[in-house]
Structure 1
């Protein structure tokens, strides 16, 4: 067994021998238990060394007799390893970017399709439920939060003022939430409760600016709330009135209570 034959173990494991040298080494391997044992021990690391080619092995063999070449080879090997590690980092970063992009697209598609995952957690403040309307052609289109109580839509045929009232019976009396539109200004207004026994009560007053509410100048409607101690079944109707300089009221729109 020659020294060269023994040194062929690594080259054979890496598959860098030519066909003739490979056959020669296999003949040697059949009678040399030392090389067979060494070859078996190298199997786990062959994958780690798979990127070393025949030129690298030849260069390593030459370094045994040439110290200068040894230094150059070591520098080259270190550079090779650094570049390999750098390529691995770039590949990992690219994979993260691609995965992040795919994830963003998936979540975007889920959000667009209305099936975005809901995340449970503590919330603060009141939950607002939009008022989608009743479908009544006379409904002026009240927006905002869902209101409590029976909904009544009225448009006065004379003044053109529109009103949407939400009437809710309470232990204290009646709660009223209302919205007014097509109400020009400037003027002073009030909300009056007219009871079944013909008695009246003013429960809210306000002023209308120059542009009015629900008009061409100001499309925004006026939304207010009020309450009365009168029970709803004791109320005949609610009336929005314009108040003149002497305090007299002129009806703008009347809303039945029942």
Structure 2
């Protein structure tokens, strides 16, 4: 195979021939097994084009008129490919070593009954400082997330029902979170808002099981939440009532807002 033919094989594989020369070479290729075999060896070179820059592409175009430059370019590209693959092998080996070392430490600690070393993760938001507000052990949020708002603790002297309310003024009205204890059952109850103008509104209702809440039979207190459209300044007090079969309410505990 002549030197010119060799140059055409490389130029054709790299796509730098003009349309006329490409047609000429394809006609020649149809009858020349040597050029066909040479073209097959040039196929891997095409895959390297994605790894070279504009200057390298310009150098490849110059191989059409300079066969010596072609040889140098091909040698450089093959060398680049070998180096890139060698770097990839080194990186893979390093990753295996590092991962293997970490895995070894983890399995070693686990086999010794220890715990795995901490793995770095995204920073977490700082926790809010604990509230210094005093409260009872049965208050909502005790031992967990503290409730916001004005806290009112009341124990009715007649019924013995114990209530803790948290009142928060909102744009929509007033938010109420409350717990009830010393509340025997079974019975039906409701929470009533009594406004300054003496009007009332039922904002919650519930059933009390036979064991009650906050009793000897069931020490767990009842925790509920409700809301009213009434502004806190317009509320005189909240009242927990027992409701009989006719819907008549009897006060169990009254919680003032002032």
* TM-score normalised to structure 1 length: 0.50
**Root-mean-square deviation (CA), in Å?**
3.7
> Does structure 1 residue 183 correspond to structure 2 residue 174?
no
Q: How does 1:128-143 map to 2 (within 5 A)?
A: 134-136=133-135, 140-142=138-140, 143=142
Q: Which residue of 2 aligns with 1:80?
A: none
- Please give the alpha-carbon distance, in whole angstroms, between the structure 2 residues aligned to 1:250 and 1:131: 39
Q: How does 1:63-142 map to 2 (within 5 A)?
A: 100=109, 120-121=121-122, 134-136=133-135, 140-142=138-140
- Please give the alpha-carbon distance, in whole angstroms, between the structure 1 residues aligned to 2:184 and 2:171: 36
Are the structure 2 counterparts of residues 100 and 246 from structure 1 closer, same or farther at C-alpha, using a change threshold of 3 Å? closer
8 A contact 1:193–1:201 mirrored in 2: yes
- Please give the alpha-carbon distance, in whole angstroms, between the structure 2 residues aligned to 1:245 and 1:186: 13
Task: Please give the per-residue CA displacement for 1:66-87, whole angstroms capped at 9, x wherever unaligned.
Answer: xxxxxxxxxxxxxxxxxxxxxx
User: Helix, strand or coil for the counterpart of 2:233?
Assistant: helix
Q: How does 1:26-45 map to 2 (within 5 A)?
A: none
Are the structure 2 counterparts of residues 96 and 226 from structure 1 closer, same or farther at C-alpha, using a change threshold of 3 Å? closer
Q: How does 1:97-246 map to 2 (within 5 A)?
A: 100=109, 120-121=121-122, 134-136=133-135, 140-142=138-140, 143=142, 144-246=144-246
8 A contact 1:133–1:141 mirrored in 2: no
Are the structure 2 counterparts of residues 129 and 235 from structure 1 closer, same or farther at C-alpha, using a change threshold of 3 Å? same
User: Helix, strand or coil for the counterpart of 1:214?
Assistant: coil
Q: Which residue of 2 aligns with 1:30?
A: none
- Please give the alpha-carbon distance, in whole angstroms, between the structure 1 residues aligned to 2:196 and 2:153: 21
What is the CA-CA distance between 1:206 and the residue it aligns to?
A: 0.5
8 A contact 1:156–1:162 mirrored in 2: yes
What is the CA-CA distance between 1:98 and the residue it aligns to?
A: 11
Task: Please give the per-residue CA displacement for 1:112-151, whole angstroms capped at 9, x wherever unaligned.
Answer: xxxx97954388xxx9989878434x66343343212111
- Please give the alpha-carbon distance, in whole angstroms, between the structure 2 residues aligned to 1:172 and 1:249: 27
What is the CA-CA distance between 1:99 and the residue it aligns to?
A: 7.2
Are the structure 2 counterparts of residues 119 and 189 from structure 1 closer, same or farther at C-alpha, using a change threshold of 3 Å? farther
8 A contact 1:174–1:229 mirrored in 2: yes
- Please give the alpha-carbon distance, in whole angstroms, between the structure 1 residues aligned to 2:222 and 2:129: 17
Gaps of 5+ in 2: 1-100
What is the CA-CA distance between 1:169 and the residue it aligns to?
A: 0.6
What is the CA-CA distance between 1:247 and the residue it aligns to?
A: 1.1
What is the CA-CA distance between 1:100 and the residue it aligns to?
A: 3.5
- Please give the alpha-carbon distance, in whole angstroms, between the structure 1 residues aligned to 2:175 and 2:127: 19
* TM-score normalised to structure 2 length: 0.50
What is the CA-CA distance between 1:212 and the residue it aligns to?
A: 0.5
8 A contact 1:195–1:237 mirrored in 2: yes
